Structure 1
Amino acid sequence: DGALRKDFVLERLNKRNKDRQNYLDVKLEQRNKESVQNEGVDYFAQSFGQRAYEVEQRINTVHLDSGDAPLPDLSKHFADITMQIQELQRYLTSSTMFLSDFKIKSCQNMLNALTTANDEARQRLMPKKKFGFSAKKLVVKQPPTIAKLDTPEKSVKQSNFSWTIANRRNAHILLTAEQVNGQDITISNVHKCFVELQGHPGSVQISNASQCTLLCGPVSRSFFGEQLESCTLAVACQQARLHSSKDVRIYLHVTCRAIIEDCRQFSIGEYNYDYAELEADYAQSGLNKAHNNYTDVADFNWLSPDAPSPNWTLLKDDAAPNWNALRRDFL
């Protein structure tokens, strides 16, 4: 009996030692992982911050009043800055797996600010020529009128620029490649409109739209929408940001991570707009047609990693819309 008891005690001691050693090994491995992760976060913060600072300096150091010094090639200069911002966006997107939601949002806000500053500097130093589109490219249910782009009466009082399209109702509006390629297209205060942008814009912004359809060719940089209600969108872009909107169906191609904030009742599917020059516009825009992150959406109002956001869903079993039929019905 004494020998059996001794063996039993030794067995329990050995088991306890093994359990303790396993626990220590697990804790050590966990600390090592946390250390590696923290090193990765620290390196990212330092690298991202330095590169963002360099971009900001490039934007701030461009001046037209450069004395007798030759002016830089502004077109190439701003194109290079845009490329740097795009590279930073890709760096952020590829690092999201080990960054906190707060850090992702902070860095994204920084990128948004750089993009805005770059666009404003481009518009200030390289003002666009004003242009118009003829009545034959604008189909409306009301008596036909000649619509002009960038006219003073189209401007919004709170803005210091003129909207490309503004204050329209019940209109079919078609802008062709000549009117949108490389341009910053802005749309505001539209209701029950069917808008088509056939070309490769530099950026697109739409604000205050209700019961509208917007079909857009590949956008080189960013698409931004706010105050949208009961709208359908088809957009291909590098960055997509939507704010303060509800009941929106969007068919999306986005090479970075799409962002929504203060949005609800969003349905998201794969981009499916088509027109004759779409392939050429993809090539000119620089978008990678084979890379689409439309299923990866960051909802800044839903930061729980354990449950999906209730504010958006994927369109899986819904039939793709027939844009030609919808266009005919509208007209």
Structure 2
Amino acid sequence: MEDQENPKILQIPDQNLQKKHQMMLERLSNRHQTRLETRKLDSTDSTTSTFLSRFNDSKNSIISQLQTTTDPSRLTVISDAISTLEKLVAENSYSLPSYEVRSSLRTISDLKQNLENLSAQLIPRKKFSFKSKPTRTQTQSQILQNDVVSTPNETELKFNFPVRESPGFRDKQNEVLFQDFKCSEIGEFTLSGLDSCEVRLVGCVNALFFNKLKGCKVYAAPVTGSILIEEVEDCVLVLASHQIRIHFAKRCDFYLRVRSRPIIEDCNGVRFGPYCLNYEGIEEDLEAAGLIEETGQWGNVDDFKWLRAVQSPNWSVLPEEERVGTVDLADLGCGNDAS
């Protein structure tokens, strides 16, 4: 009876008040999101600014040394400084804008070239000569380990990194070629003019040059410096290096371990996967080359001829089901006793 005499009053919400409340919540949410984005941009700008400051200080120091050095013993110091600068770019590449990375890599490439020019001025280049060493029984007649020649008048590659007089395999067809760099004085090695060949390289070397390869398979041990590639077609290349630059490649698969982003130019139909080579002693070689850590940079390719923000159509990541898997040189028949 009391409820009937004093009925409860139902409050009907004010729709205008609800709308105002919702609009207020949206404004607060948008304001919060804007603050987060601003902080993120400020953080990115701060990281880029810090990197550029360190990079430019190191670059200017190296340029000064290149311009004033007359003592050949200082070349190693300059080379180490360039390597440290390259490492700085690799360590910050994930957090930097792509154009800053490309610009930095071009600067490093120019510094290396200037160091090469200075080295040629201060230290006359000696011709290569191979020391005689005991031969062992060749169990695979196809492996042409001793078929290494030197061409004095090799033309320069189009990206201005000369092949010079380095030893290497040149002008071969349908052959299996093997070279062991362990206990060797070879610092640079060239593969040029090869057609339908399989190349197996073990032991560390300072630099590799590739020019005019067609339908080849190349399995290479770690490289302590750079790998430069030009005019390769329908090839499979398994490579590890601090820096890899690829020019004029068509329909090739690259399996890489690399400290900085791979660079491609004028390429199409190229695919990338992780380094997959194995042989006895490879862990020691990776350690010696400073490549023991997998950085994942093999899938972070820079196409210098593709400036749009969207993915370049000239390269792609190899689907896992299409990758070759681990390549063990012992299974290929070259063995661990090859010399």
TM-score by length of 2: 0.75
In the alignment, is residue 278 of structure 1 matched against residue 282 of structure 2? yes
Map residues 216-227 of structure 1 onto 2, 5 A cutoff. Answer: 216-227=220-231
Question: Cα–Cα, structure 1 residues 280 and 17, in superposed 2: closer, same or farther, change >3 Å?
Answer: closer
Contact 1:219/1:236 (<8 A) preserved: yes
- Deviation, structure 1 residue 25: 3.2
AA paired with 1:155? E
The residue that corresponds to 1:107 in the other structure is 104
AA paired with 2:87? R
Contact 1:258/1:293 (<8 A) preserved: no
State the alpha-carbon separation in 1 of the partners of residues 283 and 264 from structure 2.
Answer: 28
State the alpha-carbon separation in 1 of the partners of residues 21 and 245 from structure 2.
Answer: 59
The residue that corresponds to 1:267 in the other structure is 271
State the alpha-carbon separation in 2 of the partners of residues 247 and 160 from structure 1.
Answer: 24
2:204 to 188, 200, 205: 200
State the alpha-carbon separation in 1 of the partners of residues 259 and 250 from structure 2.
Answer: 23
Compare 169-178 and 154-163 and name the one that shifted more: 154-163
- Deviation, structure 1 residue 201: 0.9
AA paired with 1:93? A
Contact 1:257/1:293 (<8 A) preserved: no
What fraction of aligned residue pairs are identical, expressed as a percent?
19
Question: Cα–Cα, structure 1 residues 237 and 98, in superposed 2: closer, same or farther, change >3 Å?
Answer: closer
Map residues 242-321 of structure 1 onto 2, 5 A cutoff. Answer: 242-285=246-289, 287-293=290-296, 295-300=298-303, 301-302=305-306, 307=311, 309=313, 311-317=315-321, 318-320=323-325, 321=327
- Deviation, structure 1 residue 41: 2.2
Compare 79-88 and 208-217 and name the one that shifted more: 79-88
Contact 1:134/1:146 (<8 A) preserved: no
2:61 to 41, 54, 57: 54
Contact 2:44/2:96 (<8 A) preserved: no
State the alpha-carbon separation in 1 of the partners of residues 90 and 43 from structure 2.
Answer: 19
**Secondary structure of residue in 2 paired with 1:264:** coil
- Deviation, structure 1 residue 311: 1.8
Question: Cα–Cα, structure 1 residues 27 and 253, in superposed 2: closer, same or farther, change >3 Å?
Answer: closer
The residue that corresponds to 1:150 in the other structure is 150
AA paired with 1:51? S
**Secondary structure of residue in 2 paired with 1:244:** strand
Compare 9-18 and 229-238 and name the one that shifted more: 9-18
- Deviation, structure 1 residue 113: 1.5
The residue that corresponds to 2:218 in the other structure is 214
Compare 106-115 and 184-193 and name the one that shifted more: 184-193
State the alpha-carbon separation in 2 of the partners of residues 277 and 181 from structure 1.
Answer: 19
1:78 to 64, 75, 78: 75
Compare 251-260 and 222-231 and name the one that shifted more: 251-260
**Secondary structure of residue in 1 paired with 2:190:** strand
CA offsets 1:118-171 (integer angstroms, 9 cap, x no match) = 234334434344124879799997xx998564343x633886832423641224
AA paired with 1:60? Q
- For these two proteins, the number of residue pairs brought into alignment is 313
- Deviation, structure 1 residue 26: 2.7
**Secondary structure of residue in 2 paired with 1:260:** strand
AA paired with 2:171? R
AA paired with 2:260? C
Question: Cα–Cα, structure 1 residues 257 and 325, in superposed 2: closer, same or farther, change >3 Å?
Answer: same
Structure with the greater alpha carbon radius of gyration: 2
Contact 1:163/1:188 (<8 A) preserved: no
State the alpha-carbon separation in 2 of the partners of residues 134 and 209 from structure 1.
Answer: 30
Contact 1:208/1:226 (<8 A) preserved: yes
AA paired with 1:54? S
Aligned-residue Cα RMSD (Å) equals 3.7
Contact 1:191/1:211 (<8 A) preserved: yes
Map residues 34-183 of structure 1 onto 2, 5 A cutoff. Answer: 34-63=41-70, 71=71, 74=73, 77-126=74-123, 127-132=125-130, 149-152=149-152, 155-156=154-155, 161-165=164-168, 167-170=170-173, 171-177=175-181, 183=187
TM-score by length of 1: 0.77
Contact 1:242/1:260 (<8 A) preserved: yes
- Deviation, structure 1 residue 5: 8.9
- Deviation, structure 1 residue 7: 4.4
CA offsets 1:50-79 (integer angstroms, 9 cap, x no match) = 21221222233222xxxxxxx46x2xx333
The residue that corresponds to 1:66 in the other structure is none
The residue that corresponds to 1:17 in the other structure is 24
Unaligned ranges ≥5, structure 1: 64-70
Unaligned ranges ≥5, structure 2: 1-10, 335-339
Contact 1:172/1:194 (<8 A) preserved: yes
